[in-house]
Amino acid sequence: MAENLRATKFNDGTDIPTQHDGYTWAHLATPAYSWIFGNATYFMRGALYNGYVVDPASNGNKNVSVLAELCAKVYL
């Protein structure tokens, strides 16, 4: 992969919810992403995604990218 993933939408165009509060992030049971250190100025480093983003059973069978689809099959 040539660069870090910075997707903010699923493949069907719906937004991936964003969450920057660490406590809430740790207790989420729904898809979400955050920028590194909760700061969008780190955009070039890519986004952090929780496991629900790549889990089709949790996100309504949506994908972020081919890589996310692969991770869902391998790691979940």
Query: What's residue 31's pLDDT?
Result: 92
Q: Which long-range contacts does 11-19 make (Cβ < 8 Å, 24+ apart)?
A: 11/62, 11/63, 11/64, 11/65, 12/62, 14/62, 16/49, 16/53, 16/64
The pLDDT averaged over each successive group of 10 residues in the chain (76 residues) is 72 85 86 79 76 86 63 52
Ranges assigned E (strand) in the chain: 33-35, 47-49
Query: What's residue 71's pLDDT?
Result: 57
* CA 21/CA 14 separation, integer angstroms: 22
